Structure 1
Amino acid sequence: MRYDALLWLSFGGPEGPEDVLPFLENVTRGRGVPRERLEAVAEHYHHFGGVSPINALNRAAIAAVEARLADEGLDLPVVFGNRNWDPYVEDAVAGLAASGAREVLVFPTSAFGGYSACRQYDEDIARARAACGAGAPRLVKLRQFFDHPLFVASVADAVRAAHASLGDAPGVRTVFTAHSVPEAADVASGPPDEGGRRYSRQIGEAARLVAAEIGLADYDVVWQSRSGPPRIPWLEPDIVDHIDALHDKGVPGVVVCPIGFVSDHLEVVWDLDNEAAERAAEHGMAFARSTGPDTDPRFAEMVVELIREHTDGAPARKLSDFPAAGCTVDGAPCAVACCAPQRRP
């Protein structure tokens, strides 16, 4: 089938100090987050001049994909749209409609299932089409790619580079991390007949595949960036707590791989490069963090392969038979019981 464009759909981030609080208000809209909590989180952004690296990294990744498409003779313009900041997805879809686009592929910048990682992008698509009205193009979201060989290879090489930065010192522990979610949300992140927990199980499978690529027999999977009331159980252990536990066991250092994130953004930079790195330093432990895969040329190659699954009927390349959602169309969730939103207390 012929498609008119690719919509690059991401989370968004502030690009100046004046953007920070409006951006955080967008992220937390309808959740009843106190103003003082937003102001506390805003300080993390102001620590870096009020700029999240995510938009710039997305633009660089888009340029790499455009170059790859041109090299392969695929005439597919790439349009950038965000959930929470300019350029907004609603404006991107309106622009596509105005240009005459009728069939559009969508690449969401998340490799995994779960509400925030997958279904919320379906909601973004549905909202943008509704805002556009009757002239909205048909939007087809590409599949999850946590076990795509190019994704796994790029993450594995980044972990190798992080170990090399520590001189490949013996005893350094590899720790994979992803954004924590409430336990209830994780249970709901997969159809009940698959046992639920698609999000945490996919994270674990991706970590296993990367470890196997490197030849690691032992590694850890932990979580970061939890928020919300302490009484609500979230996925554990937290990365900082885990560094404490490793220190107690005499581990001399850690290489942390933020496998749950495609791009470095403020949660990665703050939670890992600041809080986790500082805790390791307090213990006298060596610390290194691997970079996100979106800066690797193989990431653009992978995106084009995902596109060709639709344009050319190319077979899907996967390193496992682990459950993963396929494409979704016009924002309709791929399964009624999958990745359902959770009521927030």
Structure 2
Amino acid sequence: MSDQPAHAPYDALLLLSFGGPEGPDDVVPFLENVTRGRGIPRERLKEVGQHYFLFGGVSPINDQNRALLGALRKEFAEHGTDLPVYWGNRNWAPYLTDTLREIAADGRRRVLTLATSAYASYSGCRQYRENLADALAALEAEGVTPPRVDKLRHYFNHPGFVRPMADAVLAALAELPEAVREGAHLAFTTHSIPTAAADASGPAEGHGDGGAYVAQHLDVARTIAEAVREETGREHPWRLVYQSRSGAPHIPWLEPDICDHLEASHAAGVPAVVMVPIGFVSDHMEVKYDLDTEAAAKAAELGLPVARAATVGADPRFAAAVRELVLERAATERGEHPERCALGALGPSHDLCPVGCCPARAPRPAAAGADSPYA
């Protein structure tokens, strides 16, 4: 009987996130990192940064990642999983390259990556993989032998991600006035992306008409709505809507926008709406501003009662799901056939992103996929 740990062959977990400013002086430099190569003037970035300045120039995402790190380490320790957890960001400290350099210096050779994005899309998956490839190339250029890096499968339909959101919907419904609670509609929200990017999301055989991005969100929304119906005995009408559009107006993006949906719902006589941000792991800026500030203001203007469901964040069930995903992938790498948990109709996602999955406009190397130069 083998005495290797259940997480072998992996010897580290990397929490990979977007990053965010932690003070007013960080806002414009952070936005310069995010928009590098697009030629956006600094004055325009100052205008965009007003969302952050409303919150003291601090994005909540870094503290939320610290909380998730704590939850993961606690979960691992309580279950005897002796796997160190590191944290690196794409756009702010701790930077991904610095974290991978630390991982290499610590002698770690096989790393699993948990990205704080649960769904398939270029910006939610492949771009993270491109950033990993860039960081690994930087280490090689320094003469550092980089670790091998893999990525956990998409976890959008894992029970540890879905069930906390279903409970959050029930809690949000309870916040509404009793007179409008029973007739409340559910608005499942996620980040809008260009329709062309949505159509090309996921494996190539599924491209077209929203691709994997829309299909995965619809499946999660349907699963949560059914869980709420089973718990309450009431059928709450629902729709998938979008938020946080940031592109040029002439480029088609996924619609309807949450504020437009609130207006249409009010005009149709809907008594109340629960906003459910299923596209986001934590209550970061796009939730705190675009929903809690902008959409809430629109609802108040309309006189439409709204409540907002919490995101998963550092829920212990999500931390447990991550541990399960780590052990699942480790067992698969060892040639075993572990149970792969998933709710809804789509089943568990792939471990290895295939060639042509969520392609970029211009080809770039991407790690942790079938086309990785760092296999």
TM-score, normalising length from structure 1?
0.94
SS of 2:157's equivalent?
A: coil
Q: 1:275 to 1:208 in 2, by over 3 A?
A: same
1:205 pairs with 2:212: no
Paired letter, 2:159: P
1:189 pairs with 2:201: yes
Q: Quote how far apart the aligned CAs of 1:41 are.
A: 1.4
Q: Quote how far apart the aligned CAs of 1:260 are.
A: 0.3
Match of 1:97 among 96, 104, 108: 104
Match of 1:126 among 128, 133, 137: 133
SS of 1:135's equivalent?
A: coil
Partner of 2:343: 319
Q: Quote how far apart the aligned CAs of 1:193 are.
A: 1.9
Match of 1:58 among 46, 60, 65: 65
Give the Cα separation in 1 of the matches to 2:47 and 2:190.
22
Residue-by-residue CA offset, 1:95-138 (whole Å, 9 max, x unaligned): 00001000111111111000011111111211111111151001
Q: 1:188 to 1:260 in 2, by over 3 A?
A: same
8 A contact 1:113–1:324 mirrored in 2: no
8 A contact 2:244–2:286 mirrored in 1: yes
Report the RMSD for the aligned CA atoms in angstroms.
1.5
Q: Quote how far apart the aligned CAs of 1:37 are.
A: 3.0
Residue-by-residue CA offset, 1:59-91 (whole Å, 9 max, x unaligned): 101101101100110100100100000001101
Match of 1:164 among 148, 158, 174: 174
Q: Quote how far apart the aligned CAs of 1:167 are.
A: 4.0
8 A contact 2:340–2:348 mirrored in 1: no
Paired letter, 1:143: R
Give the Cα separation in 1 of the matches to 2:258 and 2:296.
10
Partner of 2:328: 309
1:226-305, aligned counterparts within 5 Å? 226-305=245-324
Give the Cα separation in 2 of the matches to 1:131 and 1:72.
35
Q: Which runs of 5+ in 2 are unaligned?
A: 1-7, 230-234, 333-337, 363-375
Residue-by-residue CA offset, 1:266-320 (whole Å, 9 max, x unaligned): 1111110111000100111111111110232111011111111023443210114
8 A contact 1:198–1:323 mirrored in 2: no
Give the Cα separation in 1 of the matches to 2:96 and 2:296.
34
Match of 1:149 among 147, 159, 162: 159
Give the Cα separation in 2 of the matches to 1:100 and 1:291.
38
8 A contact 1:16–1:51 mirrored in 2: yes
1:225 pairs with 2:214: no
Partner of 1:115: 122
Deviates more, 1:256-265 or 1:319-328: 319-328
Give the Cα separation in 2 of the matches to 1:101 and 1:294.
27
Report how many aligned residue pairs link the two structures.
338
8 A contact 1:184–1:342 mirrored in 2: no
Paired letter, 2:70: A
1:87 pairs with 2:94: yes
Give the Cα separation in 1 of the matches to 2:214 and 2:260.
19
Give the Cα separation in 1 of the matches to 2:344 and 2:276.
20
Q: Which runs of 5+ in 1 are unaligned?
A: 329-333
Partner of 2:9: 2
Residue-by-residue CA offset, 1:23-44 (whole Å, 9 max, x unaligned): 1111111123343431121111
SS of 1:295's equivalent?
A: coil
1:179 pairs with 2:191: yes
Q: Which has the larger radius of gyration?
A: 2
Q: Quote how far apart the aligned CAs of 1:206 are.
A: 1.0
SS of 2:313's equivalent?
A: helix
Paired letter, 1:104: V
Partner of 2:30: 23
Partner of 1:331: none
Give the Cα separation in 1 of the matches to 2:202 and 2:86.
30
